[in-house]
Amino acid sequence: MRTLCLGGSFNPIHHAHLITSRSVAEKLNYDRVLLIPSAQPPHKPDSATLAAPADRLAMVRLAVADDPLFSVDDLEITRTGPSYTIDTARILTARGEGPVHWLIGADMLMYLPKWHRARELIHEVNFVPIARPGWQIDWESLPPEFRSLREAVVETPLIDISATQIRQRIASGLSINYLTPPAVCQYIAEHRLYRP
């Protein structure tokens, strides 16, 4: 089974995550999209707006509960310490789920050389970069070994939804309907997440 991994804080998960990952899976013939919520995102170590790992995991599970394309793995939630992609990829490989194909947005691609053990990671993971709305990839600013990812870029639908936007709308008392699945909207309301 060809699996496309999508990791992230999912704070909260929203339709752009789901639509873009489905689009890539369909274009590149992946059988499954594996969503991997991070417990402690290394690039957001002390974020006051980060919901508890258990809440973010619950929302991801609710978002894809009835969709056979998607699976959810809690391996980063149950592991201690920062959620480093290289550790996750090695666990997946050890479980027989390799080679690991990892979806990465254009915004994160520019930070990839600064990821934990990035030069090892680039050789252990098949990154699938996606072109997102509003982001230009400055390939020349990346170290040479990362520029080869240019050949793997996949264009996805232009969906301008962000978790930041959703959290801001909640804090302002505005509706988040149609930005994230109804079950996630309900969970956020019931657990009073992202409120001031």
Query: Residue 132: inside a domain, yes or no?
Result: yes
* Segments forming the whole domain that contains residue 25: 3-160
Cα-Cα-Cα-Cα dihedral of 6, 181, 167, 171, to 10°?
-170
How many CB atoms neighbour CB 184 within 10 A?
Answer: 24
Residue 46 pLDDT grade (very low, low, confident, very high; cuts 50, 70, 90): low
Distance of alpha carbon 26 from alpha carbon 13, whole angstroms: 20
Whether 49 and 196 have beta carbons less than 8 Å apart is answered as no
Query: Residue 176: inside a domain, yes or no?
Result: no
Residue 134, pLDDT score: 66
Query: Residue 29: inside a domain, yes or no?
Result: yes
Closest CA to 77 of 50, 54, 58, 95: 54
Summarize pLDDT for 72-125 with one digit per residue, the tens: 999 999 998 888 999 999 999 999 998 999 999 888 888 999 999 999 999 999
Question: Quick one: DSSP state of residue 174?
Answer: -
Query: Residue 189: inside a domain, yes or no?
Result: no
Summarize pLDDT for 150-194 with one digit per residue, the tens: 999 998 988 889 999 999 999 999 999 999 999 999 999 999 999
The Cα-based distances of 179 to 17, 140, 143, 150, 160 in angstroms read 10, 34, 36, 30, 10
Query: Residue 130: inside a domain, yes or no?
Result: yes
Distance of alpha carbon 77 from alpha carbon 177, whole angstroms: 27
CATH of the domain at 17: 3.40.50.620
Query: Residue 119: inside a domain, yes or no?
Result: yes
Query: Residue 129: inside a domain, yes or no?
Result: yes
Query: Residue 147: inside a domain, yes or no?
Result: yes
Give this prediction's pTM.
0.93
Give how many domains the chain has, as a whole number. Answer: 1
Summarize pLDDT for 130-152 with one digit per residue, the tens: 986 666 788 999 999 999 999 99
Summarize pLDDT for 51-85 with one digit per residue, the tens: 999 999 999 999 999 999 999 999 999 998 888 99
Tokens 């991997």 belong to: 36
